[in-house]
Amino acid sequence: MDLTQEILALKHARNAVILAHNYQIGEIQDVADFVGDSLGLAYHAKATAADVIVFCGVHFMAETAKIVNPGKIVVLPDRDAGCSLEASCPAPDLEAYLTANAAKNYYVIAYINCSGAVKALSDVICTSGNAVKIVTQAPPERPILFVPDANLGAWVMEQTGRKMDLWQGSCYVHVEFTRDSINRIKADYPAALVVAHPECTQAVRLLADEVCSTEKMIAYCRDAPVKDIIVVTESGMLHRLRKECPDKNLIAGPTERCACADCRYMKLNTLQKLRDCLANLQPRVEMEESLRARAELPLLRMLEQSR
Ligand code: 13P
Ligand code: SF4
């Protein structure tokens, strides 16, 4: 039996579902039951009837699945699959900031790329796919604190006109794209359109024809009236795009140092580790119940508000 067959047999035996983010390696995407962005994955995690959720992504994504599924076993192939955005906003720092600024009575909107403890301190969660919708529904009389991604927050402010105070976190992958690196690839493909993730800096977003979540990139590329499209996000995205848009020439956006950008956390997951976590049902995501319950409220509010 090859690894993929072993994974499928174990999945059946465990009554498990395999959820994978768009940045996972191609082999993992191909064996998954659902591949998508953070929003689609959150909906799938909430809706699944499986007993075991195998989350191929990074830790905060698997933790989100656990928050909405306390009774299920949630495993991830590599426990060390973190996220620089999550790391940029430790819950004690956010708590101290909120205490010091209690008079402001902030409405806290947390991008889903954060820990369960940060979610528990927030009023509502958002993803890159629904951030504009969520911010638009925030109470107009309250100042907003947006955590942890300052680039996504700045983009949402541009889109909505709503002023927000921004936590100064960033994605270490997306800030590697620069105006010069994107201008150089545009010069090589003068007819190309550019699609970029909102975690990119403003200088890069300004060069893009479309700024959107990874899921929305699929429809954008499929419907684009041109063949060449420069995709400014993590390299795993290209696998799914090439599968779903076979008639397009999809070009990885380069950084100053590399022809494409890999997230070292997303790339910790391998087929072998996926097989092992299904076989051993480890490593598991566990959460203390009162923290889980507090983190669930803003997540459910997000799912409700983004319908
Ligand atoms: P999406 O929700 O757009 O897939 O983004 C998740 C992410 O981690 C981007 O770096
Ligand atoms: Fe986090 Fe950036 Fe990796 Fe996405 S690409 S998981 S935001 S470090």
pLDDT band at 126, cuts 50/70/90?
Answer: very high
Q: How many Cα atoms are found within 13 Å in the side-chain-facing hemisphere of 227?
A: 3
Confidence (pLDDT) at 47: 95
Q: Residue of the nearest CA to atom 7 in ligand 2?
A: 171
* Whether residue 113 has its Cβ less than 6 Å from ligand 2: yes
Lining ligand 1 with CB less than 6 A are: 22, 37-38, 113, 127-129, 171, 197, 199, 213-214
Q: What is the mean pLDDT of the chain?
A: 97
% of the chain residues with pLDDT over 70: 100
Confidence of residue 110 (pLDDT cuts 50, 70, 90): very high
- Whether the CB-CB separation of 187 and 171 falls below 8 Å is answered with no
Which of 78, 83, 89 for a ligand 2 pocket mutation test, highest count of atoms within 8 Å of Cβ? 83
In Å, how far from its chain's centre is CA 214? 8
Residue 192 clears pLDDT 90, i.e. is over it: yes
pLDDT at 257: 93
The string of pLDDT tens digits covering residues 69-108 is: 999 999 999 999 999 999 999 999 999 999 999 999 999 9
The residue whose CA has the least distance to atom 6 of ligand 2 is 83
For residues 181 and 256, give the distance between their C-alpha atoms in angstroms, rounded to a whole number: 6
> In testing the pocket of ligand 2, which one of 37, 60, 112, 174 has its CB within 8 Å of the most ligand atoms?
174
Question: Which residue has the least CA distance to atom 2 on ligand 2?
Answer: 171
Q: Which of ligand 2's atoms lies nearest the C-alpha of 174? A: 2
Tens digit of pLDDT for each residue in 265-278? 999 999 999 999 99
- Which atom of ligand 2 is the closest one to the Cα of 60? 6
Q: What percent of the chain has pLDDT over 90?
A: 99
Two tokens at 1?
Answer: 């039996």
Determine the pLDDT at residue 30. Answer: 98
Does the beta carbon of 263 sit less than 6 angstroms from any atom of ligand 2? yes
Tokens of 304: 């409700």
**What confidence score (pLDDT) does residue 114 get?**
98
How large is the average pLDDT for residues 161-183?
98
Ligand 1 atom nearest 214 alpha carbon? 3
What order of strands is seen across the sheet that includes strand 249-252? 210-211, 193-196, 228-232, 249-252
Closest C-alpha residue for ligand 1 atom 6: 38
Q: How far does the centroid of ligand 1 lie from the alpha carbon of residue 141, in Å?
A: 30
Please compute the mean of the pLDDT values over residues 168-194 and round it to a whole number. Answer: 98
Residue range 227-257, pLDDT digits in tens: 999 999 999 999 999 999 999 999 999 999 9
Question: Residue 13 C-alpha to ligand 1 middle, in angstroms?
Answer: 31
* 1: confidence class by pLDDT, cuts 50, 70, 90: confident
Among 115, 234, 255, 268, name the best residue to mutate to test ligand 2's pocket (greatest count of ligand atoms within 8 A of Cβ). Answer: 234
Encode the chain in three state secondary structure.
Answer: CCHHHHHHHHHHHHCEEEEEECCCCHHHHHHCCEEECHHHHHHHHHHCCCCEEEEECCHHHHHHHHHCCCCCEEECCCCCCCCHHHHCCCHHHHHHHHHHCHHHCCEEEEECCCCHHHHHCCCEEECCCCHHHHHHCCCCCCCEEEECEHHHHHHHHHHHCCCCEECCECCCCHHHCCHHHHHHHHHHCCCCEEEECCCCCHHHHCCCCEECCHHHHHHHHHHCCCCEEEEECECCHHHHHHHHCCCCEEEECCCCCCCCECCCCHHHCCHHHHHHHHHHCCCECCCCHHHHHHHHHHHHHHHHHCC
| Binding site membership of 85 for ligand 2 (Cβ less than 6 Å) | yes
Ligand 2 atom closest to 149 (CA): 7
Average pLDDT (132-151) is: 98
Q: What was the pLDDT predicted at 149?
A: 98
Closest atom of ligand 2 to 233 CA is 5
pLDDT at 307: 82
